[in-house]
Amino acid sequence: MSGLIRGFLSYTKALPYLFKGWALKYLFLTGLLAIASLAALVSIVFFKGDELAHIVLNLFNLDLIPWLDTGLEWVVRGILWVVCILLFKYLILILASPFLSIVSNKVESTISGERVQASNQQGFVGSIGRAMSVSGGNLFNEILLTIPLLVFSLIPGVAIVTTPLIFLIQAYYVGYGNLDTYLENKFTTKESKSFVKRNKGLAIANGSVFLGLLLVPVLGVFLAPIWSIIAVTIAGESKLRQQATV
């Protein structure tokens, strides 16, 4: 519970950082990347959705059943939209990871009063590589956990339970990705995974607000990456300092 509270409150504490001079550059960089990524995925589904649906139907010879064709096409398009939403979260975490890492370091420096240097000697390439590795594993796990819940959702009345669970799963893995960006200069991916598991509430809170921001057209998508990484850095620093005094 303390992790949840820490995670949610950190977004309020992160607000002043958004208006600092050095943050504005990264705000626009990550914001434009997020909007461009979302626009690209939406365009693919919107303009190529029919073609993709027919390809899927052809694979299973379902296009040979005329009375099913239209209904199944809509189902496939619906699935494509879900995939679009799933991919967007991880795509922006990967593409913006070098900039988000810099922002996290600057916030940590402000909090500690000491300059934080990136320990990753590979720079941008290293940040993107680690983000791809972590995001790939998270995406796989998220799909693995989400598919059974989606199937159960078809049972009348069950969706009232499965829908919040699906949201929590998505929030956890988004928060995981943000936390790992903050932790990349401190822990290996294995150590980072262990830290996130011990602080699930913090990850869920951070990811929940991130997902909530995506529901706000344009502005929310624009702010989500940098606001979330600032918030998770503040919360992570607070947690690590608390552990150090115990």
pLDDT for 173: 93
In the predicted structure, residue 244 carries a pLDDT above the cut 70: no
Q: Give tens-digit pLDDT for 62-104.
A: 555 555 555 666 666 667 777 777 788 888 888 888 899 889 8
pLDDT band of 149, cuts 50, 70, 90: confident
pLDDT for 123: 67
Per residue, the 3-state secondary structure of 133-157, as one string, reads: HHHHHHHHHHHHHHHHHHHHCCCCC
Question: Both tokens of residue 111?
Answer: 């909090």
Sort 4 into a burial class: Cβ within 10 Å, 0-12 / 13-18 / 19+.
middle
Helix (H) or strand (E) holding 31: helix 21-59
Q: What percent of the chain has pLDDT over 90?
A: 20
pLDDT for 206: 94
Q: From CA 122, how far away is CA 119, in angstroms rounded? A: 9
Q: How far apart are the first and last CA of the chain?
A: 19
Mean pLDDT of the chain: 82
pLDDT band of 59, cuts 50, 70, 90: low
pLDDT for 65: 57
Which residue matches tokens 């509430």?
201
**DSSP-assigned letter for residue 215:** T
The residue ranges of every structural domain in the chain are: 2-36+96-113+122-240
Give the list of residues 6+ apart from residue 70 with CB closer than 8 angstroms, or none.
none
Q: From CA 119, how far away is CA 58, in angstroms rounded? A: 50
Q: How many CB atoms lie within 10 A of CB 59?
A: 9
Q: From CA 198, how far away is CA 191, in angstroms rounded? A: 11
pLDDT band of 207, cuts 50, 70, 90: very high
